[in-house]
Amino acid sequence: MKNINLKQVFDEKIISGDFLYADWPAPDNVKVLITTRKGGKSNGCFSSLNVGGHVGDNPEAVAQNRSYVQEHVGAPLVFLNQVHGADVVRAVDAAQKMMDADACVDDTGRAACVVMTADCLPVLLCDRAGAVVAAAHAGWRSLAGGVLQNTVAAMRVDPMEIMAYFGPAIGPDAFEVGSEVKDAFCSQISEAEDAFESIGGEKYLADIYHLARLILQREGVTQIYGGSHCTVLERENFFSYRRDGQTGRMASIIWLEQDH
């Protein structure tokens, strides 16, 4: 299995204990904010900055957490009803009503694209001109189903002009999967074999970062950053469904800053 070469990615820095800010060469008007599990109002297994309203947390605490995050984001947060599919919607449309989708795009600056995760891979994208941004929720089902291909297409720019940033997801030392997951990718991409390490009994350790990188590269996206965290192993910083079962969700957010 090809593990991530950390020398080839930019370091991510936790700022003020609560948020991650992407360290990548995006245009100045492209802004990114990724929440951790710190700085919120939730208690127990949701402690403390849970932004997921569908996981059993106190709705008032979730509302306060989302409000806190909104204070640090320069456009209205747009949450999706994520269904582990491959549909992509316009963020301004999803701002009007909750939509079933696993990715959204924006070229207006009037909405912040948001995906929630707790092990699945959040992929944030922009073009080099700073004209369009997108966010994709890339769990293995969405990834195998084409969510990244659909997101790149929905951005409507030359893929060579697109750069991608991988937020925190389950790492290659923690993501144990069965043969059905391996088959779902290897039947489409022969190089995907390198992303799976056999541990016996038709079980494998999968590198979701590597799988996403292969898919983006096949689409013509070659500027790819991030991908150095493991939500399972970094217990203090991140929620992990695989590790804890009932737990909170982080938000990975990207938006276009409006001229003032």
DSSP 257: P
Q: What are the CA-CA distances from residue 115 to residues 1, 3, 122, 200, 226 (Å)?
A: 28, 25, 7, 34, 16
Which pLDDT does position 95 carry in this prediction? 97
Which pLDDT does position 258 carry in this prediction? 84
What is the tens place of the pLDDT at every residue in 179-206?
999 999 999 999 999 999 999 999 999 9
Does residue 8 surpass a pLDDT of 50?
Answer: no
What is the tens place of the pLDDT at every residue in 205-256?
999 999 999 999 999 999 999 999 999 999 999 999 999 999 999 999 999 9
3-state SS of 54-94? CCCCCHHHHHHHHHHHHCCCCCCEECCECCCCCCEEEHHHH
Does residue 260 surpass a pLDDT of 60?
Answer: no
Nearest Cα to Cα of residue 151 among 135, 132, 164, 130: 135
What is the tens place of the pLDDT at every residue in 69-114?
999 999 999 999 999 999 999 999 999 999 999 999 999 999 999 9
In this structure, CATH architecture of domain 18-170+221-256: 4-Layer Sandwich (3.60)
Which pLDDT does position 10 carry in this prediction? 34
What is the tens place of the pLDDT at every residue in 26-48?
999 999 999 999 999 999 999 99
259's tokens? 């001229």
| All structural domains of the chain with their residue ranges | 18-170+221-256
CB 193 within 8 A of CB 186: yes
Which pLDDT does position 34 carry in this prediction? 98
63's tokens? 């509302």
Pairwise CA distance, residues 55 & 58, whole Å:
9
Cβ count near 6 (within 10 Å): 10
Pairwise CA distance, residues 32 & 218, whole Å:
25
